[in-house]
Structures are given as structure tokens and as C-alpha cells.
Amino acid sequence: MASLPDELDGERLVLRRWSLEAIDDALAAIDDSFEELHAWMSWAVTMPTRDSLVAIVYDGNQRFDSGERWAYFVREKAGGRLVGSASLGRRGGDRELEIGYWVRSDRTGRGYATEAAKILTSAAFDSALDVGTVKISMDRANNASAEVPRKLGFTPDVEYEREVITPGHSGRGIAWIISREEWQSITS
């Protein structure tokens, strides 16, 4: 099964495959950012416990190995601080992957989500996964998150109804998409 590497390198960030060794750093980042994460992330309806986060990382590593979803902790190169998480997973058609991300609250506004999404988009198209399109979806009300695909050259693809799970959810989602050809024309 084609896969992605355990580590992806960016300009200011490094994305490292989820590991149990990073649980305490991840839990601290989630705790420090819980109010914001709680507004948007369905997994943060309640504050994760250490045990629940261990189970999530264990499941994530099984999905990584099976080629279903590649989840990474995002760290600053300078200092190594864990500043969020980003993933690339199979959600649509066979040749489509979807990016998800979050950045700890004290590091938002620095372009970290954009850089992480750029790293993952390049990795998807440069891999042996035969990816035709990459998608980023979010709640329609999450304007900050919508800036990420916009900055990277993704275009709005579809709006859809979605379940309201968290306090920030509006019941409307938006998906942004970019093709391999579009990405290559932007990055070459």
C-alpha cells in the first residue's frame, strides 16, 4: 500500500506522525486551546482525557499504516513546540484526499495552518498515491479556517448541510478543492 513518510518538512514547521511520545505535548496544546477547539472540532465537544487521546493516537497510527489517513503533529522547527495537528485522509472518491488541521490558540495568525496544508497538499500530489484532487472542508461560519484554502489557491467546490455538533457550527459546510494540475501550475 502506498503511503506517506513519517515526517514532512516545511519552511518553519515539521509534521511528524502521531506518536505516543507526544501525548503530553498534544494534551497541553489542546488544553490551552480548548475554548477555540470546542467551538469547531467535533472531537473537542468535551476535553479529551489522556486515555482518550492515547486511544485516538493508537487508532490514527493504524489508519496511517493502512493508508486510510495520515495524521501528524505539527511542530515549530525553532524550539520544537507542538503547535497543532494536521492530517490527510481518504473521504471522497478513490483519487481524492481531504486535509484537516488545527493550530493551538497562542499560535494562530502566523500562517501555520496554511503552511501545514501546503505541506500536505504537496505531499499528496508528490506521492505514489495517484491523487487527482485535494479537498479542505469546514463549517461555513469558520471564516479563519476558510482563509487557508483561499490563500493556497483552492476554489470553493460545494456547500452542504451538516449536523450541528459544536457551539460554532452553523449547519452549513463548505468544501474547497484543488486538482493536481492546478496545484502544479501554482507551485511550479
Interval 22-49 mean pLDDT: 95
∠ CA 58-56-14, rounded to 5°:
80
Determine which helix (DSSP H) or strand (DSSP E) holds 100, and give its type and residue range.
strand 96-103
Contact 37, 44 (CB under 8 A): yes
pLDDT at 169 over 80: yes
pLDDT of residue 3: 83
78-127 pLDDT, tens digit each: 999 999 999 999 987 779 999 999 999 999 999 999 999 999 999 999 98
- Please give the grid coordinates belonging to residue 102: 488545527
Q: Where are the domains of the chain?
A: 7-187
Architecture of 7-187 per CATH?
A: 3-Layer(aba) Sandwich (3.40)
Q: How far apart are CA 53 and CA 10, in angstroms?
A: 26
Q: How far apart are CA 164 and CA 91, in angstroms?
A: 19
pLDDT band of residue 2 (cuts 50, 70, 90) is low
Averaged confidence pLDDT in the chain: 94
∠ CA 4-122-116, rounded to 5°:
85
- Please give the grid coordinates belonging to residue 39: 467551538
